[in-house]
């Protein structure tokens, strides 16, 4: 048991010595020369969005994202020295490549299937320039490409104006069509009423004609009775108003049947 413990402690001691040996750096001039450590992991670069003018003069706010790694510490130290300076320099490289590549294309091309090739061209351009500072770029992505806020506001204002103009045109067209419909309906109404009145006059005329014929036929059958009936109608129409006054001579034909009734006692 003690022998195994000794072997374990010996192995731990060797491991510690190995780590210490790899952690010790020899400098020629103490206190003047020093050791610089760099993060060799895959790092992220997320610069602020930048405005890019495309080949068709369209402006876009482009937000890019880059993943990189320090692969040549000596060149890295000689060119940018610190990671902060490296990110600033790499951001310039990315922005320059994005502007240069996107400046050759149109908005329609950026939104088409050519987008994959465009991103590959940007990534290759960034990789070449990044090698000069000892950095290897793994990937460059455009996460978002939007129209600038003022352009969006102008587009929205123009769209609003167009919609309002369209609405006014639709309302005016609707009012015009409504007036035409009302005018047509009024015209149709007038025609129908005129036709109805015409038909009514024709019907009344035919009725009056038929009534006159009936009266004439009746009068021809018994002229005395017809005359008597006409006189009764005249009496009724004249004397129906109790306040009416008639001034006639005693021998007037109007009182013919009254005189005859007095004579006969009926």
What's the predicted TM-score (pTM) here?
0.48
104 shares a domain with 67: yes
| Residue 19 covered by a domain | no
Same domain (yes/no): 226, 248: yes
Same domain as 213, residue 228: no
Query: Is 111 within the bounds of a domain?
Result: yes
* Same domain, yes or no: 194 and 207: yes
Residue 8 located in a structural domain: no
Q: Which domain holds residue 53?
A: 43-152
**18-62 pLDDT per residue, tens:** 444 444 444 465 545 667 778 889 999 988 888 888 898 888 888
Cβ atoms 56, 106 nearer than 8 A? yes
Q: Is residue 15 part of a domain?
A: no
Q: Among the three residues 103, 132, 152, which one is the final residue of a domain in this structure?
A: 152
69 lies in some domain: yes
pLDDT tens figures, 62-112: 888 999 999 998 899 999 988 899 999 999 999 999 999 999 988 888 888
Same domain flag for 205 and 174: yes
User: What residues contact residue 65 under an 8 Å CB cut-off, 6+ apart?
Assistant: 44, 45, 46, 140, 141, 142, 143
Number of structural domains in the chain? 3
């Amino acid at each position: 048991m003690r022998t195994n413990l000794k072997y374990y402690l010996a192995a731990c001691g060797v491991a510690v010595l190995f780590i210490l040996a790899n952690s010790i750096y020899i400098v020629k001039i103490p206190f003047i020369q020093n050791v610089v450590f760099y993060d060799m992991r895959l790092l992220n670069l997320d610069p602020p969005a930048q405005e890019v003018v495309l080949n068709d003069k369209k402006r876009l706010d482009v937000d890019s994202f880059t993943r990189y790694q320090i692969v040549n510490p000596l060149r890295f130290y000689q060119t940018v020295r610190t990671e902060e300076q490296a990110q600033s320099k790499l951001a310039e490289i990315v922005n320059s490549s994005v502007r240069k590549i996107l400046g050759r294309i149109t908005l329609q091309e950026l939104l088409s299937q050519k987008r994959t090739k465009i991103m590959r061209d940007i990534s290759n351009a960034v990789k070449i320039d990044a090698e000069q500072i000892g950095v290897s770029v793994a990937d460059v992505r455009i996460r978002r490409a939007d129209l600038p806020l003022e352009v969006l506001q102008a587009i929205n204002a123009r769209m609003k104006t167009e919609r309002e103009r369209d609405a006014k045109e639709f309302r005016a067209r609707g009012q015009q069509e409504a007036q035409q419909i009302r005018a047509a309906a009024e015209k149709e109404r007038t025609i129908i009423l005129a036709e109805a009145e015409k038909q009514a006059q024709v019907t009344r005329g035919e009725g009056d004609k038929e009534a006159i014929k009936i009266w004439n036929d009746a009068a021809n059958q018994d002229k005395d009775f017809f005359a008597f009936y006409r006189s009764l109608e005249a009496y009724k129409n004249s004397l129906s108003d109790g306040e009416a006054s008639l001034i006639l001579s005693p021998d007037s034909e109007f009182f013919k049947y009254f005189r005859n009734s007095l004579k006969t006692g009926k």
